[in-house]
Amino acid sequence: MVLHSSSVLPAAPAVTAVTAEPSSRRITRNRDTRRVRHTQSTWFYVAADLVAIVTATVIADLLSIYTWAPSVGVITGHFFSARNLLLTGIIILLWLAAIVVTHGYSHQARTFPRIGRENVIKGSLFFAAGLAMVDALSSYSLFRHYALIGLPVGLFLLMISRMVCLRLTNRFRADLRHSFLAIGQVRDINRLIRSFHDTQDLTGLVHGILLTDPENLDQLADVSGIPVDTIRMDVLTNEDFVHTAAAYACDAVWVASIGEFGHRNLRRLSWQLNKLNMRLYLDPMLEGISGTRLDVVPFGPRHALYVDRPRFSAANGLAKRAFDIAVSAVALVLISPIMLITALAIKIEDRGPVFYISERIGYHGKSFRIFKFRSMHTDADQRLQKLRTEVGAEGLFKMKDDPRITKVGKFIRKTSIDELPQFFNSLLGTMSVVGPRPHLQHEVDAFSADMRMRMEVRPGITGLWQVSGRSDLTPRQAEQLDLYYVDNWSLSLDIRTIARTFQAVALSRGAY
């Protein structure tokens, strides 16, 4: 690989000025620091999981003893017996070992919460299966004694411990968030840049860029202060790459143009990165597809990335409908006092109607009536076209200081109280608790072919669009979020979105 220093920004490090000896020393120092932090982070997770496992095992042991001897004296005597303490200690170590075997403490498990949760659950299930196998071959009854109660309690505590670890490992943040050196052609680097909605997120993740087609340097998108250099693809075996990695202080490489590298250069690159204790990430050029739909499938010496089908059917299935009915019914009971107070406030302000009923387009393009608390003056629809003309707006109309909004309306919009009557829509089946945004007919008429796919599921009261900024999002960003939800629906995604909705409402970001 021949490196050509043509940094776009004056602040970019001069790669060719970095000599081999300082580069090696810097790489070694960074590598040793990362290893120490990785070790500290791993032991922190192990200690937190150990506390959760010990707690769950002790609870299961005490409850199991209580079922056949509900006496304090008998429970204490049996629990603190040498045989029971030894057996309990072995059970705890076996549970922890099962999580280790399923890579529950790997870098990926500590970096990405979803992978960590999956590995912990897999290890715990293997542990329970092992106890069940021992029970089948002997008369110890370990599964009934420890796993029947301890497993659900333990999984709950382990999920909490993982959340706590992520919150408390600020000192390991450099490990949890990689410092990437992005390598690839301009078109692929531009695609990577555009995938970030927030410039701060991009600059916090990518610390350097190497372009493999320097002739297209002028077509590179705005990189907001990230140093840029160009390279010529040759053979990745010389010292130039070491110098570059040292200059940008990166700990991982993101290959944005896999096809250009080829399998030989990727293999050589992985050899070099292994010497530097750096990690290699390959961009599969898949956007809008969740990791739960991806799997690696071997075909002889090669591997293919299998992409599962979009989840339209599941998003309209029985589990989703039962979830909507249950959540809507409970929500309407809990929020009924708030809805009553809101209705009185609206009525007192201008004596107008309490509810605003509008025709929207929902599932499979069918129209339905949506219920909201009225937040605008009664002549708002008549004044809409005049405002459109004044601000030159097309499509979805949003205005921060809309003069049509009443005093009560400003408050209920900021707190999203105006959306609460939509739980009636969800209960009746015209909407869902979580889903894409409901649109007006003229907005649907302007949809692209891709955007029409969002009508494969019911629109939602809340959704990824709401928890990601609502009206602050660009139309393209909102479209991407809607389509991501349609393609990748899962019950866990709905639950996470509802949890994030409370935070979005509290911060009132994008609510107007």
Q: How many CA atoms lie within 13 A of 124 on its CB side?
A: 26
Query: Has residue 28 got a pLDDT over 70?
Result: no
State the pLDDT at residue 287: 76
What pLDDT band is residue 509 in, cutting at 50, 70 and 90?
low
CB 244 within 8 A of CB 20: no
Question: CA–CA separation, 105 vs 301, rounded Å?
Answer: 29
Residue 239 lies in a domain: yes
Rounded Cα gap, residues 183 and 258, in angstroms: 10
> Across the chain, what does the average pLDDT equal?
80
Determine the Cα–Cα distance for residues 169 and 175; give it in Å rounded to an integer.
10
CA distance linking residue 50 with residue 54, whole number of Å: 6
Q: Which two tokens stand for residue 154?
A: 């333990």
In-domain check, residue 10? no
Whether 46 is covered by a domain: the verdict is: yes
Structure tokens at 231: 């390279």
- 0.75 exceeded by the pTM? no
Same domain, 162 and 195: no
Pick from 219, 223, 225: nearest CA to 185: 219
Mean pLDDT (whole number) for 24-47: 71
List, for residues 371-420, the tens digit of each pLDDT value.
999 988 876 666 666 666 665 555 455 556 677 788 888 898 888 899 99
Q: What is the DSSP letter of 260?
A: H
Average pLDDT of the residues in 232-238? 56
**The last residue of a domain, from among 119, 142, 172:** 172
Flag whether 308 is in a domain: no
Q: Residue 184: beta bridge partners?
A: 211
Domain stop point among 127, 152, 172: 172
117-126, 132-141, 204-213, 387-396: least confidently modelled range: 387-396
Are 385 and 328 in contact by the 8 Å Cβ rule? The answer is no
What integer pLDDT is reported at residue 345 of this predicted model?
92
Side chain identity, residue 499? A
Q: How far is CA 330 from CA 17, 66, 423, 500, 501, in A?
A: 66, 35, 10, 18, 17
Residues 327 and 451 in one domain: yes
In a domain, residue 100? The reply is: yes
Written as one letter, the residue type at 28 is T
* Per-residue pLDDT, 460: 93
340 close to 373: Cβ distance less than 8 angstroms: no
pLDDT band with cut points at 50, 70 and 90 for residue 324: very high
Q: Are residues 249 and 101 in the same domain?
A: no
Other CB atoms within 10 Å distance of the CB of residue 456: 20
Residues 452 and 470 in one domain: yes
Residue-level pLDDT at 449 = 85
pLDDT interval class at 198 (50, 70, 90): low
Does the pLDDT value for residue 201 go beyond 50? yes
Q: How far apart are CA 41 and CA 105, in angstroms?
A: 9
Residues 122 and 146 in one domain: yes
* Domain membership of residue 479 as a residue range: 314-507
Picking from 406, 419, 398, the residue whose alpha carbon sits closest to that of residue 472 is: 398
Assign 430 a pLDDT band (cuts: 50, 70, 90).
Answer: very high
Residues 472 and 340 in one domain: yes
**135/38 same-domain check:** yes
Q: Are residues 162 and 69 in the same domain?
A: yes
Q: Is the pLDDT of residue 511 over 70?
A: no
Asked if residue 358 belongs to a domain, the reply is yes
* Minimum mean pLDDT range among 164-173, 254-263, 274-283: 164-173
The CB-side HSE value for 411 (13 A sphere, CA atoms) comes to 8
3 state SS of 210: strand
27 Cβ partners below 8 Å, 6+ apart?
A: 242, 245, 246, 276
Same domain, 164 and 197: no
In terms of pLDDT, which residue wins out, 386 or 135? 135
Interval 445-495: pLDDT, tens: 888 888 888 889 999 999 988 787 665 677 777 888 888 899 999 888 999
Task: Name the more confident of 178 and 476.
Answer: 476
> pLDDT > 70: what percent of the chain?
79
Same-domain pairing of 324 and 421: yes
CA 5, 7, 11, 16: dihedral to nearest 10 degrees? 0
Q: How far apart are CA 326 and CA 307, in angstroms?
A: 32
Identify which has the larger pLDDT, 106 or 49: 49
**More reliable by pLDDT, 291 or 91:** 91
**Average pLDDT of the segment spanning 6-24:** 41
| Cα 217 from chain centroid (whole Å) | 33
pLDDT at residue 172, rounded to an integer: 47
CA distances from 85 to 61, 90, 118, 125, 145 (A): 10, 9, 30, 23, 14
Q: Residue 365 carries which DSSP code?
A: G
Instruction: Count the domains in the chain.
Output: 3
- 265 domain-assigned: yes
Amino acid letter, 237: T
Domain limit, last residue, from 172, 202, 222: 172
SS3 of 91-110 = HHHHHHHHHHHCCCCCHHHH
Nearest to 144 by CA among 233, 32, 65, 75: 65
Q: What is the average per-residue pLDDT within 19-39?
A: 59
Regarding whether 392 and 502 lie in a shared domain, the answer is yes
User: How far is it, in rounded angstroms, from Cα 408 to Cα 375?
Assistant: 7
Contact of 172 with 105, CB cutoff 8 Å: no
28 part of a folded domain: no
What is residue 409's predicted lDDT score, i.e. its pLDDT?
A: 87
CATH number, domain at 241?
Answer: 3.40.50
Query: 272 with 382, same domain?
Result: no
β-strand pairing of 180-184 with 206-211: parallel
